[in-house]
Amino acid sequence: MWTGEKVGTYAHDLCHIDLNIKSDSADDSIKTFQVDPFTKQVDSCQTNSWVDFFFIRSKNEYEQSISNSVVVVLTCMLIVFSFLTLRLSQQQTDYIAVQSLPDRIQQAQSVQRAVELCKSNPTLKESGLYDPTDGTPASCQTVLQQYGK
């Protein structure tokens, strides 16, 4: 008779369960059977008896399997976030290219005007452009050397 006490322990390796069924009446006979997990055939057991083997993981194996599952989930999330980041970076690059288009057009027009001005008068000290290294006005001679054909 079971008293209701619970005893817990972590076990590992192959476990063996042997169960004997007792009836209150001596006239009762209980026939037990089970399926062999390897051959998938029904095995006859002794009368009022049942036996099974199974594997129980240890506490460390159980915790390791949970850790492995968490690592797999986090890795999948990392891959998804990496793809999202890559996609958003590409979109940002496209937006910056579109956003800077008017400035690039204006810069090209300014260079073209300066080249035309310097071709008509190459001795001018100020062409309307500036030297990007020091911010001083660029002379026509510099402009023609850099942009003139």
Q: Which of 9-13, 59-63, 91-95 has the highest mean pLDDT?
A: 91-95
Kindly tell me if the per-residue pLDDT of 72 is higher than 90: yes
Q: For 22-30, what is the mean pLDDT? A: 74
pLDDT in tens, 96-138: 999 999 999 998 898 888 888 888 888 888 888 887 788 888 8
Boundaries of every domain in the chain: 13-56, 65-92, 110-149
pLDDT for the residue numbered 11: 58
* Nearest residue to 109 (alpha-carbon basis) of 134, 132, 128: 128
Contact 114, 128 (CB under 8 A): yes
**Strand-strand pairing, 42-44 and 49-56:** unpaired
- Rounded Cα distance between 12 and 15, Å, is 8
Which residue is listed with tokens 């209980």?
A: 30
Kindly tell me if the per-residue pLDDT of 12 is higher than 60: no
* Nearest residue to 148 (alpha-carbon basis) of 126, 69, 120, 44: 120
What percent of the chain is predicted at pLDDT more than 90? 27
